[in-house]
Every structure is written in structure tokens, then in C-alpha cells.
A = this chain, B = another copy of it.
């Protein structure tokens, strides 16, 4: 029987890198979790057990720590750019290197303390850098994102006018709680940006749009409005993808106790949950 190797990739996940910048009077602390992947001409490793083209995943791990010592880590995006450059140099068989980075934010406590921090709320900062081997560098892609950004509004959200069939029992909700955990990834259309500034801008656009959208008719509707706000405020963002779980807050049925419940008391549910995913992009027409 003839068989062939289809799409394949390999790498290391969950590399936990922390760095301290002690150069100033105030320390800076950076906390990253890094995933690395290589794709390319790795058929001999699979079909023949020939490892000569394989850069061990343990080396990918070691490289993260070594590169973090060679130069300051900087932004997740810039560290991803450096790491992908190294990976393509180190692994000649690789045609594409992809690095995903997740940064846990820490904030200073106790009155802007110089070296003491607490985990900040507001979700995680993410970046994805991929790099191919084209000579002119046009196959480097930098994307950034946020993850686990929990937001909720207690008014300004409805879900009505939907399709009804024989299995539909959902009551129409002219005023409901809208709650989600925003995971978004946006792609930049060029390199060399101030990535931290861009990330702050996108994040602010997302939150302001979520809060300001006081006529939300669905989570899809809010997704669109948030995407529009990002593209309007950030010219270097080409598109943005959202993955939005709908974390249902169901009004408690208090009628068995002879009580009404005018949208005051809710059962927060875990499962099942709705999932709304979509990309908002610039219209190319």
C-alpha cells in the first residue's frame, strides 16, 4: 500500500519564560508562555526515522531562554520575530516557523512599588508571529490578540426576532445580560509598528465598542460593532477575528415561590454555552 505524509508540524508548547529587567531603579517583569512550531520537509523523519533534519523541541525551549539573555525580550511580537529568525536559521528543512506567545500582565502594587507586582485583570496579551523563507521578507506575518477578557453588560442587549421552529422554546429577551470572554486576534498589514501602542489601541476600541453598543441585538451584532471600531481606529490592522462564548445568565424562575423576577436574579451557567466566531475585515471591493 502506498501512503504519503500530509500536513504536519511539530514543536514545543508551554515554554514558561520570565525575565527581570533590573537596569533602572524600577524592575520590569515579563511573563510569557510560548509555543513553537515548525513546518517543512520532514518526511524522512516520519517515514524512515531519519532525525538528521530535526531540531529537537528541547532546543527550541533552550533557545527561548538563551535569546532572552542575548537581548531584552521586549514585546511579545518582537521576541517572536527574533525567535522565528533563529528557528529558520537553525532548522534548514523548516519552511515555516510559527511562534505563539501569551503574556500574563502584572501590575505594580502598594503605590507603584519598584519591584512588587500583582496579576492584573483584563485578560491576557497574545501574539502570533510566522515566518517563511521568501527572500524579500514578505512572508513574515505578525498578529496580536487578547484572550480571556471577560466583559458583561446588564443592559443595552436584546435577543429577539429570531427564527422559531418546532424545537424553539427560548423566550424573547428584549433586555438581557450579555456576558462573554473575548478572545480576539488581529493581523497587522505591515511590520515595524509600536506593537504595545497598537495593542492598547485595539483593546480600548474593543472595550469602548462593547460598552457603547447600547442597542445590541445579538452577540453577532456586537462582534461586528467591535470589529468595525477596531478597523476604524487602527489603520495598521487588516482584519480581526473574534471568538466569543455566550456565557448565559438565565433569569431564575421564581414563580414556584410566588415571586416575580424582573431581571434581578440570574442563574449563571457554564455548559452548554453559545459560541460566536467571526472575522471583520476591510472591504476589498
Residue positions of A touching B, CB distance < 8 A: 1-22, 27, 29, 31, 35, 37, 42, 45-59, 61-63, 65-66, 68-70, 90-91, 106-107, 109-110, 113, 115-122, 149-156, 159-163, 165-170, 177, 207-208, 210-212, 215-218, 220-221, 223-224, 227-228, 231-232, 239, 241, 245-246, 249, 252, 254, 256-257, 259, 261, 263-285
Find A275's partner among B11, B150, B264 (CB 8 Å cutoff). Answer: B11
Q: Please, which residues of chain B bring their CB within 8 A of the CB of A232?
A: 1
**Set of chain B residues within 8 Å of A20, measured between Cβ atoms:** 154, 177, 263-264, 266
- Contacts known (A7-B279, A278-B7); A69 close to B261, Cβ less than 8 A: yes
CB pair A110 B207 closer than 8 Å: yes
Contacts of A120 in B (CB 8 A): 121
For A228, list chain B residues within 8 Å (CB).
1, 3
Contact of A22 among B154, B168, B279 (CB under 8 A): B154
Q: Determine if B13 and A273 form an interchain contact, defined as CB atoms under 8 angstroms apart.
A: yes
- Bound: A277/B61 CA distance, A: 18
Query: What's the Cα separation between A159 and B49 when bound, in Å?
Result: 9
- The answer to whether A16 touches B268, judged by C-beta atoms less than 8 angstroms apart, is yes
Decide yes or no: A272 and B16 within 8 Å by CB, A6-B281, A109-B207 being known contacts: yes
Q: Which residues of the partner chain B approach A11 to less than 8 Å between Cβ atoms? A: 274-275
In Å, the complex CA distance between A37 and B277 comes to: 10
Q: Which of B4, B52, B264, B283 contacts A163 (CB 8 A)?
A: B52
Most chain B beta-carbon neighbours within 10 Å: one of A119, A254, A277: A119
Complex interface: chain B residues within 8 A of A54 (CB): 162-163, 218, 220
